[in-house]
């Protein structure tokens, strides 16, 4: 089936949108995506919660 | 042919895609282990469904927790992650015209994951680890349970590294033009999410393992453990979402010849997943006292809604792409593209049902239950498993079953037998899951708890009053039994095909579709055409989207009304 062109190629005309070059660069840089994909949830979910748990005062018995 | 050596690869007679022999071996191994895990999980599902059906009450409480642990880990972790590894090998080789990155890493992945899978199941079946999937401390399993999970996670990490290596050599060797294909981009998003997930799993489980063997005197802090563990437990389900959406795009193309309507929009949606979907882990801590309301609201509402937006983008672009492809074949009318779709093709039926069940069932309930305020009337009730059975089972598992109806004939090169049974299997499984999900949701709305074998708390002195939940729990039992039967049919058909199916070597796989449907689909796949033509506009999908948003609004505001009924605002 690839004789006339693969189904998995980016359709013509959409390969490199010139007005969104920065976005295309982001799409094509897997290491940057990996770094962002780790750091954003790590800071927002893990670090923030960890700090709150560290600062939580011990509950006192009534 | 890219960087593939002719004597170490072949060309698929059906798709024309190159198949790397090394990748093919690891696709086969992972798929077989995945189906074994599914068989174990489905067997446990039968027992659990017939236990929560109060009039049957099959299992004793102790056994209920044992089989719930078996079910949770085999279905949510082992079956899904083995299948995802198979997808990663396929995406980084056949779709990139490239070879497998490293045989050593691949063997490491398979051996470690298999060892972990066997070790954990041994531990649970020997009554050494009935601690449920979450294994909350200070509940303690025997040490091999944690070690098995750690080995499995490290194996999965090796699979991710092998995938990234595969992308690296494909780019270096220029085996493809332009950007990586959308399906591979989706797999990359799943890998990035997986790395975050596995790191959290290691951070939660390694100290717990050290405590279980006596190296650490005290168990990890409970609040800390829950927070870190859910960075693993829920995030692992986000890998599923990403892989499932990639499978949707792939199956839409294979079964209807569709093309993504706009590559950029689809990729932006995957980037939103990469950045924000893992924040959903915070849903599990919405009633925990250790973390603040701003943390809960930011993570589960404001930021996470960007990932919800991504799901809604995919939920629109996938059916819209199918509609456009159908219109390109000359099918008219508002919903002609749906009524004349290849519903007897189990690949199409499974993927499209997966999309509907995930969107209407899992998506709407998920966003609603994840709202900080509403969560207080739903937390730890059966509504939660009602939600995630429609996302993970009705969504991901069903999509993976649809994928198998194509991958097994293409990779194992054997055709499925009993094709009439295979054609109805997705409907049996999908119907059962929806029925069970509805039963769980309604029973949960009456306050029936999750993770408990009965609703009177095993003869508690002061049993809670949970209304007339009995009929809804019967629906859970009946739906669960039907779904498990559907899954069992899939397993039997697939195992038979893998070992005894009729060989299709040297020819195309036997098509699931009528000759005319098949011809039109292949014609769309093999020719370049523009999906943005004016006459192909996806009007029917727009109407479906309107119905979806209206359903969403009704369910969401009905839940606010339910909350007000519990705590009236005066």
Residues of A engaging B, defined by a Cβ cutoff of 8 Å: 1-17, 20, 23-24, 26-28, 30, 33-34, 36-38, 40-42, 44-46, 48-50, 52-53, 56
Which residues from A are below 8 Å from B157, CB to CB? Answer: none
User: Could you tell me how many CB contacts below 8 A there are between chain A and chain B?
Assistant: 135
Is the per-residue pLDDT at B225 higher than 70? yes
Residue owning tokens 């939920």? B315
- Write down the pLDDT at residue A58: 82
Is the per-residue pLDDT at A4 higher than 50? no
Closest Cα in chain A to B193: A37
HSE-CB of B188 using CA atoms within 13 angstroms: 31
Contact B303 A44 (CB under 8 A): yes
Shortest distance, CA A62 to any CA of chain B (angstroms): 17
Contacts of B80 (CB under 8 A, 6+ apart): B34, B236, B239, B240, B243, B392, B396, B397, B400
pLDDT bucket at B62, cuts 50 / 70 / 90 = confident
Which residues from A are below 8 Å from B183, CB to CB? Answer: 8
Contact A50 B227 (CB under 8 A): yes
Contact B179 A4 (CB under 8 A): no
Is the per-residue pLDDT at B568 higher than 90? no
Question: DSSP letters along B337-372, please?
Answer: HHHTS-TTSHHHHHHHHHHHIIIIIIIHHHHHHTSH
- Write down the pLDDT at residue B139: 93
Contact B527 A5 (CB under 8 A): yes
- pLDDT cut 70: percent of chain B above it: 100
- Write down the pLDDT at residue B344: 97
pLDDT bucket at B177, cuts 50 / 70 / 90 = confident
Is the per-residue pLDDT at A12 higher than 90? no
Cα angle, residue B531 at apex, residues B525 and B537 outer, rounded to 5°: 135
**B414 DSSP β-pair partners:** B503
Is the per-residue pLDDT at B76 higher than 50? yes
Closest Cα in chain A to B257: A7
**Chain centre to alpha carbon of residue B284:** 19
Fold type of domain B11-452+469-562: Cytochrome C Oxidase; Chain A (1.20.210)
- Helix, strand, coil: what percent of chain B each, to 5? 70, 0, 25
Q: pLDDT tens-digit profile of B233-258?
A: 999 999 989 999 999 999 999 999 99
**Chain centre to alpha carbon of residue B62:** 28
Contact B526 A4 (CB under 8 A): yes
Mean pLDDT of chain B: 94
- Write down the pLDDT at residue A3: 39
Q: pLDDT tens-digit profile of B432-482?
A: 999 999 999 999 999 899 988 888 777 777 777 777 888 999 999 999 999
Is residue A1 situated within a structural domain?
Answer: no
Q: pLDDT tens-digit profile of B252-276?
A: 999 999 999 898 999 999 999 999 9
Of A1, A23, A49, the CB nearest to B264: A23
Q: Is the dihedral of CA A9, A12, A16, A19 positive or negative?
A: negative
Three-state secondary structure call for residue B502: strand
How many angstroms separate the CA atoms of B123 and B184, rounded?
Answer: 36
Contact B253 A20 (CB under 8 A): no
How many angstroms separate the CA atoms of A42 and A46, rounded?
Answer: 5
Mean pLDDT score, B516-535: 90
Which residues from B are below 8 Å from A3, CB to CB? Answer: 16, 526
**B11 DSSP β-pair partners:** B18
* Nearest of B342, B494, B362 to residue B430 by alpha carbon: B362
Shortest distance, CA B17 to any CA of chain A (angstroms): 7
Shortest distance, CA B286 to any CA of chain A (angstroms): 12
Split into its structural domains, chain A has a count of: 1
* Nearest of B377, B342, B138, B127 to residue B253 by alpha carbon: B342
Shortest distance, CA B453 to any CA of chain A (angstroms): 32
Contact B290 A52 (CB under 8 A): yes
Q: pLDDT tens-digit profile of B403-420?
A: 999 999 999 999 999 999
- Write down the pLDDT at residue A17: 52
Q: Which domain holds residue A46?
A: 18-55
- φ, ψ at B137 (rounded to 5°): -75, 150
Is residue A12 situated within a structural domain?
Answer: no
Of B16, B178, B267, the CB nearest to A16: B178
- Write down the pLDDT at residue B450: 92
How many angstroms separate the CA atoms of B298 and B277, rounded?
Answer: 13
Q: Please give the model's pTM, rounded to 2 decimal places.
A: 0.93
Q: Of the given ranges (A19-28, B279-288, B523-532), which has the lowest mean pLDDT? A: A19-28
Of A10, A20, A36, the CB nearest to B178: A10
Contact (CB, 8 A) for B128 and B141:
yes
- Write down the pLDDT at residue B312: 95
Complex confidence, ipTM: 0.92
Contact A7 B528 (CB under 8 A): no
- Write down the pLDDT at residue B460: 77
Is the per-residue pLDDT at A14 higher than 60? no
Domains of chain B by residue range: 11-452+469-562
How many angstroms separate the CA atoms of B388 and B241, rounded?
Answer: 11
Contact B16 A3 (CB under 8 A): yes
- Write down the pLDDT at residue A1: 39
Q: pLDDT tens-digit profile of B80-134?
A: 999 999 999 999 999 999 999 999 999 999 999 999 999 999 999 999 999 999 9
Q: pLDDT tens-digit profile of B84-97?
A: 999 999 999 999 99
Contact (CB, 8 A) for B337 and B540:
yes
Q: pLDDT tens-digit profile of B347-397?
A: 999 999 999 999 999 999 999 999 999 999 999 999 999 999 999 999 999
pLDDT bucket at B528, cuts 50 / 70 / 90 = confident
pLDDT bucket at B50, cuts 50 / 70 / 90 = very high
3-state secondary structure B80-149: HHHHHHHHHHHHHHHHHCCCCCCHHHHHHHHHHHHHHHHHHHHHHHCCCCCCCCCCCCCCCCCHHHHHHH
Residue owning tokens 């969403």? B552
Contact B526 A14 (CB under 8 A): no
Contact B178 A40 (CB under 8 A): no
Contact A11 B530 (CB under 8 A): yes
Q: Which two tokens stand for residue B557?
A: 């505001």
Q: Of the given ranges (A23-27, A35-39, B316-320), which has the lowest mean pLDDT? A: A23-27
């Amino acid at each position: 089936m690839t004789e006339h062109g693969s189904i998995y190629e980016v359709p013509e005309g959409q390969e490199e949108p010139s007005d969104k070059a920065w976005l295309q660069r982001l799409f094509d840089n897997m290491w940057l995506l990996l770094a962002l994909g780790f750091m954003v949830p790590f800071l927002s979910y893990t670090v923030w919660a960890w700090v709150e748990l560290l600062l939580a005062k011990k509950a006192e018995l009534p | 042919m890219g960087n593939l050596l002719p004597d170490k690869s072949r060309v698929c007679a059906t798709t024309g895609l190159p198949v790397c022999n090394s990748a093919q071996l690891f696709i086969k191994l992972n798929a077989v282990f995945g189906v074994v895990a599914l068989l174990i999980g489905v067997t446990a599902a039968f027992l659990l469904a017939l236990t929560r059906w109060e009039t049957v009450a099959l299992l004793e409480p102790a056994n209920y927790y044992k089989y719930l642990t078996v079910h949770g880990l085999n279905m949510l972790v082992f079956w899904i992650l083995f299948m995802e590894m198979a997808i990663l090998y396929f995406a980084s080789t056949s779709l990139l015209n490239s070879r497998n990155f490293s045989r050593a890493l691949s063997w490491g992945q398979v051996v470690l994951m298999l060892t972990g899978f066997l070790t954990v199941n041994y531990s649970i079946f020997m009554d050494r680890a009935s601690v449920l999937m979450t294994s909350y401390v200070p509940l303690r399993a025997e040490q091999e349970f944690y070690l098995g999970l750690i080995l499995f996670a490290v194996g999965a990490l090796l699979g991710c590294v092998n995938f990234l290596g595969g992308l690296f050599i494909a780019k270096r060797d220029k085996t493809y033009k332009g950007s990586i294909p959308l399906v591979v981009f989706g797999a990359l998003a799943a890998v990035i999410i997986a790395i975050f997930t596995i790191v959290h799993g290691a951070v939660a489980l390694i100290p717990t393992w050290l405590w279980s063997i006596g190296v650490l005197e005290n168990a990890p802090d409970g609040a800390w453990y829950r927070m870190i563990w859910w960075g693993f437990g829920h995030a692992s389900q986000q890998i599923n979402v990403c892989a499932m959406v990639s499978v949707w795009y792939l199956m839409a193309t294979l079964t209807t010849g569709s093309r993504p309507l706009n590559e950029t929009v689809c990729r932006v949606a995957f980037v939103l997943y990469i950045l924000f979907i893992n924040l959903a882990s915070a849903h599990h801590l919405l009633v925990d006292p250790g973390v603040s309301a701003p943390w809960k609201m930011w993570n589960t509402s404001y930021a996470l809604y960007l990932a919800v937006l991504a799901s809604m983008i995919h939920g629109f672009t996938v059916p819209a792409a199918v509609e456009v492809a159908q219109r390109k074949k000359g099918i008219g009318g508002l919903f002609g593209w749906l009524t004349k779709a290849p519903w007897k093709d189990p690949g199409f039926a499974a993927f499209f049902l997966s999309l509907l069940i995930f969107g209407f069932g899992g998506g709407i309930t998920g966003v609603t239950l994840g709202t900080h305020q509403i969560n207080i009337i739903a937390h730890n009730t059966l509504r939660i498993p009602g939600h995630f059975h429609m996302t993970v089972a009705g969504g991901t598992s069903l999509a993976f079953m649809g994928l198998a109806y194509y991958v097994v004939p293409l990779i194992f090169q054997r055709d499925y037998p009993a094709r009439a049974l295979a054609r109805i299997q997705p409907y049996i499984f999908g119907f059962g899951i929806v029925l069970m999900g509805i039963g769980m949701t309604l029973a949960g709305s009456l306050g029936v708890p999750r993770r408990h074998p009965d609703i009177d708390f095993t003869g508690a002195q002061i049993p809670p009053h949970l209304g007339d939940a009995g009929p809804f729990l019967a629906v859970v039992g009946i739906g669960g039994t039907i779904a498990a039967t559907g899954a069992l049919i899939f397993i039997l058909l697939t195992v038979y095909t893998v070992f005894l199916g009729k060989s299709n070597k040297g020819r195309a796989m036997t098509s699931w579709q009528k000759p005319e449907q098949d011809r039109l689909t292949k014609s769309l796949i093999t020719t370049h055409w523009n999906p943005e033509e004016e006459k192909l506009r996806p009007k029917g999908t727009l109407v479906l989207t309107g119905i979806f948003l209206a359903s969403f609004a009704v369910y969401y505001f009905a839940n606010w009304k339910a909350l007000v009924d519990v705590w009236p605002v005066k």
